[in-house]
Amino acid sequence: MRRKLIAGNWKMNGSLAANADLLASIKAGLPGSACDVAVCAPAIYLAQAKAELSGTAIAWGGQDVSVHESGAYTGEISAAMLRDVGCRYAIVGHSERRSYHNESDEVVALKASRALASELTPIICVGELLAEREAGKTDEVVARQINAILNVLDEESLKSIVVAYEPVWAIGTGKTATPQMAQDVHALLRQRLAAKSAVAAEKVRILYGGSMKPDNAKELLSMPDIDGGLIGGASLKASDFLAIINAA
Ligand code: PGA
């Protein structure tokens, strides 16, 4: 049985004061240990997350990681630095990075490897654009994206990843994949994982992301291959985030 994971992706939102309020409310309202919970904060606030969340059941993570280990890469943040401020997770390959920063499948795979090498759990995002879904190419696109990961990770590393299926047309739009649409892609992803390692396929958590909200979370999370959520907008409001955690 895979333990569900609800991870917030704050994106480029927050401030010291707003984060303190949000984290205090989440901590106060957190139910018993029914599922794993994490917040992926802007890098500049990860030290604050560490200060506020150490010793609680809430983990924290970065939203990206450099392909480089260290050195003359102005503005970059390494996996070792994320680990240094106590991160457990790092999102890699979010569609906003793939599209606004031209991250290829290969770059995303390298970032996942860097994260793993620093003992971070990469949350590897995959998902199709609206035009790709409409052209009937969803399976082809997500298979290509996951294959790039399977090509570089060995079986042992594969067991430590988290995958997030985020249909790009559902992110921040209020449109959600139906539970069955999401389940179909999750099952395909698990099948791809199984082709490399049956053990990893059984173990790896596949999150759904894209306008997951309190009112649709329960249905999505009841599907057999949906093992949690990567939550954008609704993770910025403690009551919504807590409602999703409760649904898990
Ligand atoms: P959303 O974002 O929940 O606001 O749609 C999800 C994500 O981009 O991770």
**Residue 201 C-alpha to ligand 1 middle, in angstroms?**
24
**Residue to substitute in 124, 171, 175, 215 for testing ligand 1 pocket (most ligand atoms within 8 angstroms of CB):** 171
**Residue 43 C-alpha to ligand 1 middle, in angstroms?**
18
Report long-range pairs for 68-76 (Cβ below 8 Å, ≥24 apart). 68/114, 69/114
Alpha carbon 51 to chain centroid distance? 22
**Domain of 22: which CATH number?**
3.20.20.70
Does the beta carbon of 211 lie inside 6 Å of ligand 1? Answer: yes
Q: How confident is the model at residue 175 (pLDDT cuts 50, 70, 90)?
A: confident
Q: How confident is the model at residue 174 (pLDDT cuts 50, 70, 90)?
A: confident
Q: Which domain holds residue 149?
A: 5-247
Identify the active-site residue in 94, 96, 128, 186: 94
**Residue to substitute in 230, 236, 240, 244 for testing ligand 1 pocket (most ligand atoms within 8 angstroms of CB):** 230
The closest-lying atom of ligand 1 relative to the alpha carbon of residue 96 is 8
Look at residue 1 in the predicted model and tell me its pLDDT. 81
The percent of residues in the chain predicted with pLDDT above 90, rounded, is 96
The closest-lying atom of ligand 1 relative to the alpha carbon of residue 91 is 9
At residue 175's C-alpha, the angle toward residues 172 and 179, to 5°, is: 120
Number of domains in the chain: 1
Three-state SS sequence of the chain:
CCCCEEEEECCCCCCHHHHHHHHHHHHHHCCCCCCEEEEECCHHHHHHHHHHHCCCCEEEEECCCCCCCCCCCCCCCCHHHHHHCCCCEEEECCHHHHHHCCCCHHHHHHHHHHHHHCCCEEEEEECCCHHHHHCCCHHHHHHHHHHHHHHHCCHHHHCCCEEEECCHHHCCCCCCCCHHHHHHHHHHHHHHHHHHCHHHHHHCEEEEECCCCHHHHHHHHCCCCCCEEEECHHHHCHHHHHHHHHHC
> Rounded to whole angstroms, how far apart are CA atoms 227 and 193?
15
Q: How confident is the model at residue 32 (pLDDT cuts 50, 70, 90)?
A: confident
Tell me the pLDDT tens digit for each residue of 180-233: 999 999 999 999 999 999 999 999 999 999 999 999 999 999 999 999 999 999
Does the beta carbon of 127 lie inside 6 Å of ligand 1? Answer: no
Q: pTM score, two decimals?
A: 0.97
Q: Is 68 known to be catalytic?
A: no
Specify the amino acid at residue 145.
Answer: Q
Look at residue 176 in the predicted model and tell me its pLDDT. 87
Q: Is 94 known to be catalytic?
A: yes
Residue of 91, 165, 79, 80 lying closest to 122 (CA atoms): 91
Does the beta carbon of 125 lie inside 6 Å of ligand 1? Answer: no
Q: Are 78 and 66 in contact (CB under 8 A)?
A: yes
